[in-house]
Structures are given as C-alpha cells and as structure tokens.
Amino acid sequence: MRGLSLFSALFAMLSCTAVVAASDPDPIGTIYNGHVPADLYGSNYTYPWPVKLYKFYNQHQHLEMAFMDVPADRHYDKNKTAVLLHGGNFCSVTWSDTARQLSAKGYRVILPDDIGFCKSSKPQGYSYNVQQQAENINSLLTALGIDEVTVIGHSMGGMIAARYGLMYADTIKQLFLVDPLGLEDWVAKGVPYLPIDETYESQVVQNFTTLKAYEEASYFYNATWEPAYNTWVDMLANIYAGDYGLEYSYVMALVTDALLSQPIIYQLPLLKTNTYLMVGENDMTALGKAWSSSAVAATLGHYSVIGPAAAALIPNCTFHMFPGLGHAPFLQAPQEFYKVLFSWLD
C-alpha cells in the first residue's frame, strides 16, 4: 500500500507535468454547478444543499473542492457573506445548523470541504500546509466574486482561519476561532516525531469504534455522549470504509504532519483582524497525544489554560470560555454557542 501511494503520487506528478506543457491552466478556476454523484471522492453523506465544485489547478494537478453556497434568506441593506471552515474530523456539512442560523440573519454562507477531506479531491502528492488550505479557500471565494467575508473556523478549520487572517486581513470582516488547534506547540512540549508512514498505519484501521472513543475522550470529555453525535462519527467512518479510504488515510497522515509543524500560537500577535476566540473549558484536544509519553500527554490540550493565554496574545481579541463544554460547543450546546456568536456578529 505504501509503495502504491508513493507510486501514484509520483505518477500524478509526472502525468501533470505533461499537462502543464500541453495547456495553460486557468489560474482562478471555475465553478461547476451540475450533477454530482451521491458518493463523491469517497464521502456518501447526504448534504442538505446542492454540492458544487470549485475546479482549479494547484501544485501541478487538477483539483476539485466541493462546497455548498447557502443564500441569505432575508434581504438586508448590505450583502454579508460568511465562510465556515470545518475541523479535521468533520466536514462542511457538520456546520449545517450554524449555516441555517446565519442565513436567517442575512448571511450568504459558503461551506467548503477542504482539499483532501470529505467530498473534495484527495491528492496523494500534495503539500497540505495550512497556508495552502487558506489560499485554496481564498481562491474559491475569489472565483465566487466575494471580496469581504466573515470567517468562522473550528478546530483544524480554526487554524486555517487564523492563517487566513494573517494572509488576507484586508478581506476579513470578522474572524471567529472556535476551539482552534495550534494554540500550543505540541512538538515543543515533547510530542515525538511520528513518520508519515506510521501515521498512515494508525489511520487506515480507524472505524466507528476507534473514532468514537477518540472523540469521547478529547471532544466530549466528562460529558454524556448524545446519540446525535453518532451521525458525525458515521460520516467519518464511512469515508475510511469507502472507495477512497486508503487515499483518505494517507491524506490524514500528510495533514497531521503539516499541522504539527505549523502551530498558530507564535503568529497570533500578528493578527490585525477583529478576532473572536471561543473555547470549551473541557476541551482536551491535542495532536500527538496518542503517541506521546503519558507525562507529555498530561500537559497537552488543556483549553481552559491555553484558551485564555492565546486570547491575551491577540491584539484585538474578544474571548469566551464555555463552562463544562468540550471541543465542539456548536454540537454540544448549540443554543449557548449561538448566543455568544450572535452577540458578537456585526
């Protein structure tokens, strides 16, 4: 399998080199608004709004980013757009209820699946660095003609959102970070390097049971597991079990490698946007905990400590900590989450 992944990565690079020579790819990309199959790039979860594709050329290959474009259902004086960035164990669709709420408040809502995730392309030879993911989101918004946006990112999506804030400050109206990853430097705290091939081996065996156990311990620590959470674990387990399960596992290994090397904590003081940080007091999420010593693991992922510390580093930050909630406050206590979000939204 490892050999195959490397071979296909190499093949993709070789074959795309030929494409570069043969044509001049559109630098902006195009929006495809036609029929898409129910199972797209290995995700068969049903999305509540039409799935569109942003087709673009990047890192010497043709890619397709799936997204939903939810119209504002009331007409306000100004056009407002929000983009919702999903976490690594989630998909854009996990934000659906939040998207409905925003739409009702007059926001057009863009819900992209990051490259590598869910219903988007899963390139095997690709740098999944966080700036690249932020640039991909910006390219999509540019192709849609959107030049000002409210960015809301959760978990890995929060890390991408923060990078987006650093790269495209002028285009952001408000920046919301919901339990973002990278508020601590896991490696500096002692997380050892795990080779990509070993991360792959740990990914490829994931199933409903292992994913639920992880989420219960890190995302919903000291909370009752609600049946509603099963939907999101099923969505993910089906990707691992689906037609692109091996490719997805390898992407997750590449993504983990990229995230571990790019914590956002050092650049938070450089943010020039109005930033709104919210974390769950009981969030225990940290990359690398599983392969660290128990002494190191015990120091990681204490959002009740790293949340306020990160807020103090951001020049213009409004901060809220949800008492008793974990990594995904918008799933665990949606009403509490909306109360804070809508008290902060312009």
Ligand X SMILES: *[C@@H]1O[C@H](CO)[C@@H](O)[C@H](O)[C@H]1NC(C)=O
Stretch of 8-16, 149-157, 158-166, 237-245 contacting ligand X, by CB under 6 A: 237-245
CA dist 296 and 286 (Å) reads 11
Question: Which residues, 6+ apart, have CB-to-CB distance to 18 below 8 Å?
Answer: none
Residue with smaller CB distance to ligand X, 131 or 238: 238
Nearest distance in Å: CB 318, ligand X: 9
Q: Enter the tokens of residue 327.
A: 């990594």
CB 127 within 8 A of CB 69: no
CB 341 within 8 A of CB 105: no
Sorted by sequence, the CB contacts under 8 Å of residue 25 that are 6+ apart come out as: 19, 57, 62
Task: For residue 231, state whether it binds ligand X (rule: CB under 6 A).
Answer: no
C-beta of 13 vs 143, nearer to ligand X: 143
15, 17, 30, 79: which one binds ligand X (CB under 6 A): 79
Question: CB of 15: closest distance to ligand X in angstroms?
Answer: 28
Tell me: does residue 323 bind ligand X (CB under 6 A).
no
| CA 275/CA 49 separation, integer angstroms | 29
Examine residue 304 and tell whether it contacts ligand X (CB under 6 A): no
Interface with ligand X, residue 274, by CB under 6 A: yes
SS3 of residue 85 by DSSP? strand
Compute the least distance from the CB of residue 149 to ligand X, in Å.
14
Return the number of the residue (13 or 241) whose C-beta is nearest ligand X: 241
- The only residue of 15, 30, 209, 230 in contact with ligand X, by rule CB under 6 A: 209
Q: Provide the Cα torsion 319, 212, 69, 248; round to 10°.
A: 120
Find the binder of ligand X among 15, 33, 127, 207 (CB under 6 A): 207
Q: Where are the beta strands (DSSP E) in the chain?
A: 30-32, 52-58, 61-70, 80-85, 107-112, 149-154, 172-178, 275-280, 317-322
Name the segment binding ligand X (CB under 6 A); options: 22-30, 184-192, 238-246, 299-307: 238-246
Of residues 90 and 128, the one with the C-beta less far from ligand X: 90
Residue that the structure tokens 């929000």 belong to: 82
Footprint of ligand X on 28-57 (CB under 6 A): 44
Q: Which of 9, 241, 290, 313 binds ligand X (CB under 6 A)?
A: 241
Please count the residues of this chain forming the interface with ligand X, following the rule CB under 6 A.
14
Name the residue nearer to ligand X (CB basis): 207 or 343.
207
Window of 16-24, 121-129, 159-167, 235-243 that interacts with ligand X by CB under 6 A: 235-243
C-beta of residue 183 within 8 angstroms of C-beta of residue 307: yes
Beta-carbon-side half-sphere exposure of residue 118 (alpha carbons within 13 Å): 27
Residue numbers at the binding site for ligand X (CB under 6 A): 44, 78-79, 205, 207, 209-210, 222, 238, 241-242, 274, 315-316
